Amino acid sequence: MSGNGQMVPMTYREAVREAMREAMRKDERVFLMGEDVGRYGGCFAVSKGLLQEFGPERVRDTPLSESAFVGAGIGAAMNGMRPIVEVMTVNFSLLAGDQILNNAATILHMSGGLFNVPLVIRMATGAGRQVAAQHSHSLEGWFAHIPGIKVITPATLEDARGMLWTALEDPDPVLIFEHASLYNMAGELPASAGPVDIDRARVRRSGADVSIITYGACLFKALEAAETLARDGIEADVVDLRTLRPLDDETFLASVAKTHRAVIVDEGWRSVGISAEVSARIMERAFYELDAPVERICSVEVPMPYARHLEQAALPQAETIVATVQRMVHAHV
């Protein structure tokens, strides 16, 4: 993409596609592999057109074996390539869990620092699309538990467009979790949009009354809640974590020091999740800044229902965030 300040309309899906296209044009070592990424154009149409542009050597359809093609990606990365491995949805990543946990994450350590694994794994995550219990997981918190990898969760068009190249330049494995409900999200990006960092959280809205800490698709529920709260005279600091491993403690701790209240919104399950980790770090490092206990809003701990009204009831919603914040603020004034 080129231009001076020109804004280009695009969807989240197109932002990811453009990021892959630019990376493949820029570096001949970059290639894409995964189920249905070639002739079919990707399960979510993210890679549509890339096979025609780059050919079957660089856009490779794989057998239906996540363990095999993630393992092949690890091998390619160790031998100097820069593979982008697409795992169709996050639940299928469990079939490659051994490769990710026992190989990709450990080879640098096990080789005494001799072998890096510059591998990028992309996968769709999250619920809200009525695809029932097996395809609605938010397991990024599981992978954030693993030393040796980075876990990033682009929510905005800018991050969807810019995080991939930064991840490809990283010498170690990077897992990118793209919330499937965001693929149709439309907006505009500068024609000159380029790489962005994958190390820092971002404050997406500034306020002094409460910190709403979140990531992924829940960012937009948090921003919607913040708009509603503002009409009640409550101004929220909305923090987009962006990267779940390593967590950028400084950004959300600075926010809590400013607002003295924290609500963590996480589409994952409440028990032993990212929300618990963020809450623990706030308690460890900012306890005396708090005017109220940390609150967590997470998905209900059930297999995700198929019926839309039950699915929506199981997920964090803007209305729940609003009610929680109002209760916190009005109870401690």
Residues belonging to the active site: 66, 135
Residue located via tokens 């991840």: 167
| CA–CA separation, 95 and 99 (whole Å) | 9
End-to-end C-alpha distance for the chain, whole angstroms: 51
**Nearest one of 131, 62, 122 to 93, comparing CA atoms:** 122
| CA–CA separation, 294 and 265 (whole Å) | 11
| CA–CA separation, 319 and 313 (whole Å) | 11
Residue located via tokens 């025609």: 52
| CA–CA separation, 91 and 134 (whole Å) | 7
| CA–CA separation, 179 and 293 (whole Å) | 29
